Amino acid sequence: MLLFVGLGNPGQEYVLNRHNIGFMAVDAIVRRHSFSPWRAKFHGEVCEGTIGAEKVVALKPMTWMNDSGRSVAACAQFYKIEPKDFVVFHDELDLDPGRLKVKIGGGHAGHNGLRSIQAHLGSDFRRVRLGIGHPGAKERVTGWVLGNFAKVDRDWLEPLLGGVADAAGKLVERDDVGFMNLVSGIKPAGEPRPEKPRTSAPAAAGPTETAKNAMAETLRRLLAAKKR
């Protein structure tokens, strides 16, 4: 059994924030793989499903980002899931928009959601780092992560989230390189980007065309919810 955790902040005013891309990624997986309905539990929202032959519990902590670990710890204790079987989806300032990397262990790099999980459960878990880019100056970071995605961001955000949902089976198989390779094969509509030279280490995955329409309906719903 695995635990997929999406990090974000609760409330309609935060739905489209860059900081909430972890929520968006887990929502995409839950829809694509027909998980059970969300229900309130463990200081968050939780649901269950099966990907491949493995049961997966999905969790969105509703404790605010900086207390996410309390929700994750309660859920993990109930299901008896160890940190090595967590996959945490979160925003990453140090990756360009639309890129992603999978990492095991390491520090929190100032991310309060990761900091909280590590304080409760240690750092021995996988993270899917979803690039949102950096605003260029440290003093602009808070406004950037708590700012909404722009309409132009749909060009990479929709295929990225669709690709994550499509490739989730690789995460279940613990094939992180395969997961990154699948998502990196998905390019957004528009002019193709030149490929970067490959090195011995896997490149950060970026979106491509396989799922170009997969998340259009999702973002339309989010925008509609934001306007209400």
Residue 64 CB contacts under 8 Å (≥ 6 apart), including other chains: 9, 10
* The pLDDT of residue 147 is above 80: yes
**pLDDT of 35 over the 50 cut:** yes
Q: What is d(CA 78, CA 68) in angstroms, rounded to the nearest whole number?
A: 16
19 is annotated as an active-site residue: yes
The whole-number pLDDT of residue 109 equals: 85
β-pairing verdict for 86-92 and 100-104? unpaired
The C-alpha atoms of residue 207 and residue 186 are separated, in whole angstroms, by 4
Which domains can be identified in the chain, with CATH numbers? 2-227 (3.40.50.1470)
**Torsions phi, psi for 50 (to 5 deg):** -130, 130
Query: What average pLDDT does the segment 215-226 reach?
Result: 56
**What pTM value is reported for the model?**
0.83
Dist. CA 93–CA 60, nearest whole Å:
20
Give the Cα separation of 50 and 175 in Å (integer). 17
Half-sphere exposure of 52 (CA within 13 A, CB side): 13
- Over 60: is that where the pLDDT of 27 sits? yes
Strand order through the sheet with 2-6: 39-41, 44-51, 54-61, 2-6, 86-92, 126-131, 100-104
For residues 101 and 207, the model is more confident at: 101
The Cα 99–Cα 95 span in angstroms is 6
Catalytic option among 19, 33, 43, 90: 19
pLDDT tens column, 150-205: 999 999 999 999 999 999 999 999 999 999 999 987 655 444 444 444 444 555 65
Residue 113 CB contacts under 8 Å (≥ 6 apart), including other chains: 7, 22, 61, 65, 66, 68, 88, 90
Measured CA to CA, the distance from residue 3 to residue 21 in angstroms comes to 17
* Contact status, residue 202 vs residue 169, Cβ threshold 8 Å: no
